[in-house]
Amino acid sequence: MPNNSNPIGVFDSGVGGLTVAGALLKRLPQESIVYFGDTARVPYGVKSTATIIEYAEQITAFLLNRRVKMLIVACNSMAAVAIDNIKNLSPYPVLDVIDAGAKLAAQKTLTGRIGIIGTPATINSGAYPQAIHSYKSDCCIHTQACPLFVPLVEEGWLDHIITRLTAQEYLQPLLEKQIDTLVLGCTHYPLLKPLLQEIVGEQVQLIDSADAMAQIAATVLEASGITNTNSTAPQHSFFVTDIPYRLRAVSALALGRVIEDLQLVKLSDIALVNTDDTSRE
């Protein structure tokens, strides 16, 4: 069993997963968090399944070596194609944003007409429709890959004319299907929420899995008996594989503060290790 004061590991292909980390900090202020953003190799959504699995296993091992007590896969592309590989490596609870978002969408839709936007890898996996149908079998689901959103968010172009035109192009086919619920199937996308809401209109509910994930994490921590009850102030660490232009500015939007203590990790340092040999408290 892990030490209750051990951190929660959160990882993503870039900075989008900071939306999940931000929700966790609000819902579980007593918990420490170790965040890993693979900013040198983003975006994942246009890469092959084999490559995504390889990267996911490397990052999982990296975080397990930092004695995390729970893993949260904040990257929809990794959750879509590598969740079983991640669970096989981790002796501790593994949560993913796809299940959290699917459950919330099934609860919120009134007409059963649900749209899903995500990276090509996420959309092609069919993971979201499968997960939503497991909660509500009679939903009519329409999907749209949006490969340009991640680089636009990473660039910080959250309300740029190019982003607006791109969003209009992506969303029009879904609006023609008269969806009443739109799942933001990538953790980068909540940073575009004001723009997306403006385009789809108030009649369409946007599903951001970050808040749902925070609630699920709280439930699992309590059920597993690993909630942090230590009075010591939590310690947060943020690792990235590159520090791109505007990373701190984008992270401020996701977390509500600028991260001053980013730690740069070389790609060679996250090579897959034998997690069975990792010592943990």
- Catalytic residue numbers read 75, 186
By CB neighbour count within 10 A (0-12 exposed, 13-18 middle, 19+ buried), where does 19 fall? buried
DSSP characters for the chain? ---TTSPEEEEESSSTTHHHHHHHHHH-TTS-EEEEE-TTT---TTS-HHHHHHHHHHHHHHHHTTT-SEEEE--HHHHHHHHHHHHHH-SS-EEEHHHHHHHHHHHH-SSSEEEEEE-HHHHHHTHHHHHHHHH-TT-EEEEEE-TTHHHHHHHT-SS-HHHHHHHHHHHHHHHTTT-SEEEEESTTGGGGHHHHHHHH-TTSEEE-HHHHHHHHHHHHHHHHT------SPP--EEEES---TTHHHHHHHHHSS----EEE--GGGG----GGG----
Cα–Cα distance measured from residue 150 to residue 158, given in angstroms and rounded to the nearest whole number: 10
Cα atoms found within 13 Å of the Cα of residue 268, Cβ hemisphere only: 0
